[in-house]
Amino acid sequence: NAGVMQNPRHLVRRRGQEARLRCSPMKGHSHVYWYRQLPEEGLKFMVYLQKENIIDESGMPKERFSAEFPKEGPSILRIQQVVRGDSAAYFCASSPYMWGVNTEAFFGQGTRLTVV
Amino acid sequence: EDKVVQSPLSLVVHEGDTVTLNCSYEVTNFRSLLWYKQEKKAPTFLFMLTSSGIEKKSGRLSSILDKKELFSILNITATQTGDSAVYLCAVLIGSSNTGKLIFGQGTTLQVKP
């Protein structure tokens, strides 16, 4: 059973371009969480999705950022018109049930986005 | 605002030393506290603590939670160079239909030979 797969591992975009980050959860996991880690900072929650539904997007910037987790295929975090401040490592985690007292979520290797 | 604070932010020790990493928190709807180890890749799970006073152990690592004083410690005994990493403390918060982790800044541990 492969772990949480994120791709690409590294992504370079020029200011104003779009970035699409993909996350394939572990087999049997229907809950996905996206986190952002800025340089010298801890991981910050962005969004929690269940298949075809956004459950909690309280950590998502109001503009330019969107996320989806379709019925088929990976979860996508999309950043439009990227700016230098978007440069960070973006981690995805997945779990079989909602993240809870007895349910651990597993993290992917992350996508390191660099905006030049 | 929900907050998780770790200390120290960085630590340098020699092999064989014992270290204690601290994590304090102020959150609403606390559900559990988790420790992760991050070595330039995916954070890997170490412990999940839900109840006060019950020590969890895994080899040379152990952790305990104090829900009255709102903190947790992670102990590593007989440190090895392979323990060098960033140790992340996170608190799971949420209600019955949603949950998310609030992370601290991390403690960077360097173990010298």
Residue A28 or B73, more confident: B73
- Residue A61 falls in which region: left (phi positive, over 0), alpha (psi -120 to 50) or beta: beta
- Compute the nearest-CA separation of B14 from chain A (Å): 24
Q: Give the pLDDT confidence score for residue B98 in this predicted structure.
A: 67
pLDDT at A34 over 60: yes
Q: Give the pLDDT confidence score for residue A41 in this predicted structure.
A: 79
In the stretch 41-80 of chain B, residues with CB closer than 8 A to chain A read: 41-45, 48, 50
Q: CA of B89: which chain A residue's CA is closest?
A: A42
If we measure between CA atoms, which residue out of B7, B29, B8 comes closest to residue B102?
B29
Looking at the partner chain, which of A3, A45, A110 has a beta carbon nearest the beta carbon of B100?
Answer: A45
Strand duo A88-95 + A5-7: pairing: unpaired
How confident is the model over B48-75, as pLDDT tens digits? 999 999 899 999 999 999 999 999 999 9
For the ranges A94-103, B35-44, B80-89, which has the lowest average pLDDT? A94-103
Q: Give the pLDDT confidence score for residue A19 in this predicted structure.
A: 98
In the DSSP assignment, the letter for residue A87 is -
* Cβ pair B92:A101 closer than 8 A: yes
Phi, psi (degrees; rounded to nearest 5) at A85: -65, -10
d(CA B22, CA B6): 6
* Cβ pair A4:B43 closer than 8 A: no
Residue A21 or B99, more confident: A21
Residue B22 or A58, more confident: B22
The mean of the pLDDT values for chain B is: 92
Tell me whether A45 touches chain B (CB under 8 Å): yes
d(CA A56, CA A64): 17
d(CA B96, CA A48): 14
d(CA B91, CA B23): 10
Q: Give the pLDDT confidence score for residue A101 in this predicted structure.
A: 59
Rounded (5°) CA angle A26-A30-A31: 95
pLDDT at A35 over 80: yes
pLDDT at B29 over 90: no
Tell me whether B31 touches chain A (CB under 8 Å): yes
Q: What is the mean pLDDT of residues B91-109?
A: 84
- Compute the nearest-CA separation of A4 from chain B (Å): 9
